[in-house]
Amino acid sequence: MIRTERLTIYPASREQMETMIASEQEEELKKAYTEMLDGCLQHPDQWDWYAIWMIEKTDGTPVGDLCFKGLREDGIAEIGYGILEGHQGQGYATEAVQAACRWAFGHGSVKSLEAETDAGNAASQRVLEKCGFRPNGSYGEEGPRFTLDRPDVMEETR
Residue 125 located in a structural domain: no
Nearest 10 degrees: Cα torsion 10, 77, 97, 7: 10
> Does the pLDDT value for residue 10 go beyond 70?
yes
Residue 44 located in a structural domain: yes
pTM of the model: 0.89
Q: How confident is the model over 28-55, as a mean pLDDT?
A: 94
Residue 140 located in a structural domain: no
Name which of 40, 54, 69 is nearest 3 in CA terms.
Answer: 54
> Does the pLDDT value for residue 155 go beyond 50?
no
Name which of 128, 5, 115, 106 is nearest 48 in CA terms.
Answer: 106
Name which of 25, 41, 96, 106 is nearest 67 in CA terms.
Answer: 96
Q: How confident is the model over 63-73, as a mean pLDDT?
A: 93
For residues 8-41, b (16+ Cβ closer than 10 Å) or e, as one string? bbebbeeeebeebbeeeeeeeeeebbeebbebbe
Name which of 71, 95, 73 is nearest 83 in CA terms.
Answer: 95
pLDDT class of 100 with cuts at 50, 70, 90: very high
Q: Which domain, by its residues, includes 41? A: 2-113
Residue 120 located in a structural domain: no
Q: How confident is the model over 90-98, as a mean pLDDT?
A: 96
Tally of domains within the chain: 1
146 within 8 A of 117, measured Cβ to Cβ = yes
Residue 151 located in a structural domain: no
Q: What is the CATH number of the domain that holds 44?
A: 3.40.630.30
